[in-house]
Amino acid sequence: MDALRRHSLLIILFGSLVVTLAMGLRHGFGLFLEPMSSELGWGRGVFAFALAIQNLLWGLAQPFSGALADRFGAARVVVAGGALYALGLVFMGLSESALGMTLSAGVLIGLGLSGTTFSVILGAVGRAVAPERRSMAMGIVSAAGSFGQFAMLPGTLGLLEWLGWSAALLAMAAIAALMLPLGVLLRDRPAAAAAGDLPLREALDEAAGHRGFWLLCMGFFVCGFQVVFIGVHLPGYLYDNGIAVQVGSTVLALIGLFNIFGTYVAGWLGGRFSKPRLLSGIYLTRAAIITLFLMAPLSPTTTYLFGIAMGLLWLSTVPLTNGIVASVFGVQHLSMLGGIVFLFHQLGSFMGVWLGGFLYDLQGDYDVVWNLAILLGVAAAMLHWWISEAPVQRGARQEIEA
């Protein structure tokens, strides 16, 4: 029993460190947009396109990375993902063309992220931890990703100012390479075969026929839409309304800081209360917070309060959503099924960031997208209310419980 508990704690520790590095490094990419675009004469479109490709490939590759982790264990997938991530940063630092930027920051890092972030790591945690502690353990790992986003941003900015963008990216590649030994130490064990286990194809068919699975996917689409729209366009929205640029960067830091607490608390609550009901509450509260932010007189104070409130809800959906997948379908194919749900998050991310820019260029403001974020939050709250986290009954065709 002690050996099993020690194994679980090591999975949580090393998994948290991997997610901290992967998410922390990624959070600083926006700092390189202006210096790289200006020095290389690309215009900002080249950099933005590469990061758009990164997010799409991250999402598209996630189910496949998850399936490999379920089959062979997370360790091998993390090592491969960490290697791709580090190589992507090296070639990004050496890039002098739009194609090089797209292949490095877009393709290599996008694939690297798919092997080193939430779906793969949370799948390993879900297999290693007892069901009653699973949600809290996932909250701890998700909080580690939040901590990485908050803590590593100043370090990335320091490297950029000290070394310049090219050498800074090479230094970040060396940091990313730390994920390789961490992956080796992540001695995840694929779930042992048991009566009632399903082959991969049957597991996919089972999930495809489960209404609650699709409701989760639609809910995570909303999550991605909201957080990436706010994360990318909030500083511009504030600037347009006469708020200093420093306020925008401070708000993003506050979001990262309070995100740490939000994800941990959400994981803790998920072990004690209904996870679908908690998700309904999160999405409805997000919609209310955005509404209040838009209705209140805009000032640095109201903006900081908005950042704190949204930070508490930012990634709090992650441990709860993955926890429902584990509760309903078990842990045998958890990384793969969680990866499919995450794909919808990335599709929502793409729509949020793209639609924000497209409609801003068309209309000169963000009003339509802010209203969409509110309406989608209400819709997601309603959808999650009807999800059951009861395990599927295998051996009979499953109709989703409402």
Asked whether residue 265 carries a pLDDT value surpassing 80, the answer given is yes
Q: Are residues 165 and 259 in the same domain?
A: no
Q: What is the DSSP string of 126-163?
A: HHHS-HHHHHHHHHHHHHHHHHHHHHHHHHHHHHHHHH
Question: How do residues 150-185 score in pLDDT, each as one tens digit?
Answer: 778 778 888 888 999 899 999 999 999 999 999 888
User: What secondary structure letter does DSSP report for 400?
Assistant: P
Q: Are residues 208 and 172 in the same domain?
A: no
More confident residue, 196 or 308: 308
- Is 70 part of any domain? yes
More confident residue, 358 or 121: 121
Cα torsion through 129, 135, 138, 139, rounded to 10: -140
Q: How confident is the model at residue 402 (pLDDT cuts 50, 70, 90)?
A: very low
- Is 195 part of any domain? no
Report d(CA 211, CA 196) in Å as an integer: 21
* Closest C-alpha to 60, from 385, 348, 342: 342
Q: Which of 102-106, 260-264, 352-356, 396-400 has the highest mean pLDDT?
A: 102-106
- CB-based burial, 64-92: b 16+ in 10 Å, e otherwise: ebbbbbbeebbbbbbbbbbbbbbbbbbbb
Indicate the number of domains in the chain.
2
Asked whether residue 141 carries a pLDDT value surpassing 90, the answer given is no
Q: Are residues 179 and 263 in the same domain?
A: no
Weakest-pLDDT range from 76-80, 139-143, 281-285: 139-143
Q: Are residues 25 and 72 in the same domain?
A: yes
Q: Are residues 259 and 175 in the same domain?
A: no
Question: How do residues 199-227 score in pLDDT, each as one tens digit?
Answer: 777 878 888 888 888 999 999 999 989 98
Of the residues 189, 221, 254, the one at which a domain ends? 189
Q: Are residues 254 and 170 in the same domain?
A: no
Question: How do residues 96-127 score in pLDDT, each as one tens digit?
Answer: 888 998 999 889 999 999 999 877 888 888 88
User: What secondary structure letter does DSSP report for 124?
Assistant: H
Q: Are residues 236 and 138 in the same domain?
A: no
Distances (CA, A) of 3 to 6, 7, 128: 5, 6, 12
- State the pLDDT at residue 377: 95
- Is 88 part of any domain? yes
The per-residue pLDDT of the chain, averaged, comes to 84
Q: Are residues 294 and 342 in the same domain?
A: yes
- Is 400 part of any domain? no
Structure tokens at 315: 């990634």
- Is 401 part of any domain? no
Distances (CA, A) of 153 to 24, 113, 190: 7, 17, 34
Return the SS3 of 348: helix
Report d(CA 378, CA 222) in Å as an integer: 10
* Count of residues making up the chain: 402
Share of the chain above pLDDT 90, in %: 30
Q: How confident is the model at residue 397 (pLDDT cuts 50, 70, 90)?
A: very low
Asked whether residue 292 carries a pLDDT value surpassing 90, the answer given is yes
Q: Which residue has the tokens 């290693």?
A: 128
Please state the separation of Cα 357 from the chain's center in Å. 21
Structure tokens at 382: 């309603």
Distances (CA, A) of 84 to 61, 80, 186, 285, 286: 13, 6, 18, 38, 35
- State the pLDDT at residue 174: 96
Question: How do residues 296-319 score in pLDDT, each as one tens digit?
Answer: 999 999 999 999 999 999 888 888
Q: Are residues 224 and 174 in the same domain?
A: no
Asked whether residue 19 carries a pLDDT value surpassing 60, the answer given is yes
Range of the domain at 139: 1-189
Q: Are residues 33 and 130 in the same domain?
A: yes
Q: Are residues 142 and 214 in the same domain?
A: no
- Is 41 part of any domain? yes
- State the pLDDT at residue 399: 40
- State the pLDDT at residue 396: 45
Asked whether residue 394 carries a pLDDT value surpassing 50, the answer given is yes
- Is 90 part of any domain? yes
Q: Are residues 25 and 45 in the same domain?
A: yes
**What are the residues whose beta carbons fall under 8 Å from the beta carbon of 233, sequence distance 6 or more?**
353, 356, 357, 360, 366, 369
- State the pLDDT at residue 359: 81
Of the residues 189, 223, 243, the one at which a domain ends? 189
Of the residues 165, 189, 213, the one at which a domain ends? 189
Q: Which residue has the tokens 């920051």?
A: 105
More confident residue, 234 or 376: 376
Question: How do residues 23-75 score in pLDDT, each as one tens digit?
Answer: 888 877 877 877 887 788 876 667 777 877 888 898 889 888 888 888 888 88
Q: Is the pTM of this model over 0.85?
A: no
- State the pLDDT at residue 50: 83
- CATH code of the domain containing 129: 1.20.1250.20
Asked whether residue 193 carries a pLDDT value surpassing 70, the answer given is no
Asked whether residue 194 carries a pLDDT value surpassing 60, the answer given is no
Report d(CA 38, CA 31) in Å as an integer: 13
- Is 30 part of any domain? yes
Structure tokens at 326: 């584990």
Q: How confident is the model at residue 350 (pLDDT cuts 50, 70, 90)?
A: confident
More confident residue, 84 or 248: 84
Q: Phi and psi (nearest 5°) for 315? A: -110, 15
Cα torsion through 301, 302, 303, 306, rounded to 10: 130
Structure tokens at 79: 């090592």
